[in-house]
Amino acid sequence: MPFWRRLFRMRRLVPGAFPPGRLPLHVAIIMDGNGRWARRRGMPRSAGHRAGVERIEDVLRAAVDCGVKYLTLFAFSTENWRRSPEEVAYLMQLLAETLTERAERLRAQGVALRFIGRRDRLPPDLVAKMAAVEAMAPAEQKVTLTIAIDYGSRDEILRAARSIAEAAKEGRLAPEELTEEVFSDYLYTRGLPDPDLIIRTSGEQRISNFLLWQGAYAEYWFTPVLWPDFTAAEFIRALQEYARRERRFGRA
């Protein structure tokens, strides 16, 4: 089905779908299932990864149309280095190509790009592209798209703890000054609101070391749909399910 027709069908789902205050400000997605999608079609895993990249723009447009202000995507985890060198190299190349081809178009559409995770193990040319893209502020910002690459939440929390210990050792931070807000400022996600909704595709029901601190009070939505098949309409369904839930944050 052509994208314009899918988009028209999606727009019909949006009006009146979200009561006031029931739309998540920040949605994070664990994009899972690229390899299985390719295997079921007798294709190499690389084909699944490329199909997954194509899916991102559909979901991003849906987020903008619905009014979601922050979208965070889990692209490559600290554990993904265990995959074959060929697959890792392809993923790094694919991300670099995608930034080169689409960063300017995204900026023109009001998308601010941000990256979280370690950068010391990434290819230097990719790190340079990431920094250049982050500096490309859109004239009218509609959404912040954060890509988590070489990201692991335990690693993030451990690094934050080390930085806090150094600050305390040097006398820059007293123990009684350490609050949740101060701790959050030492995380990669500094300046981002915590996710309201975390989506995982492919049927797996675990969080896989993703936003452990930030997602403490997030709502979770799991779908059996593989990421390359995750449509804008599926994204809307996740938002509608979120809108039906009652968030108490510990209150009775």
pLDDT of residue 249: 74
Which percentage of the chain shows pLDDT scores above 90? 88
Q: What dihedral angle (degrees, nearest 10) is formed by the CA atoms of 180, 186, 188, 194?
A: 10
pLDDT of residue 8: 43
CA–CA separation, 8 and 170 (whole Å): 58
Give yes or no for residue 6 having a pLDDT over 50. no
Range name among 82-86, 139-143, 218-222, 246-250 with the lowest pLDDT average: 246-250
CA 132 and chain centroid, separation: 19
pLDDT tens per residue across span 26-65: 999 999 999 999 999 999 999 999 999 999 999 999 999 9
List the catalytic residue out of 80, 155, 185, 229. Answer: 80
Say which residues have a Cβ less than 8 Å from residue 63's Cβ, sequence separation at least 6. Answer: 27, 71, 143, 235
Range name among 16-20, 57-61, 160-164, 171-175 with the lowest pLDDT average: 16-20
If you average pLDDT over residues 101-126, what whole number do you get? 96
CA–CA separation, 165 and 190 (whole Å): 18
Backbone φ and ψ for 120, nearest 5 degrees, come out as -70, -20
β-pair partners for 143: 111
3-class DSSP state for residue 93? helix
For the chain, give the mean pLDDT: 92
CATH C-level class of 25-151+194-244:
alpha beta
Cβ(30)–Cβ(198) under 8 Å? yes
pLDDT of residue 17: 57
If you average pLDDT over residues 99-109, what whole number do you get? 94
Among candidate residues 236, 231, 56, 58, the one with its CA nearest the CA of residue 146: 56
β-pair partners for 29: 73, 199
Whether 80 sits among the annotated catalytic residues: the reply is yes
CA–CA separation, 96 and 92 (whole Å): 6
CA–CA separation, 243 and 115 (whole Å): 28
pLDDT of residue 227: 98
If you average pLDDT over residues 227-232, what whole number do you get? 97
pTM: 0.91
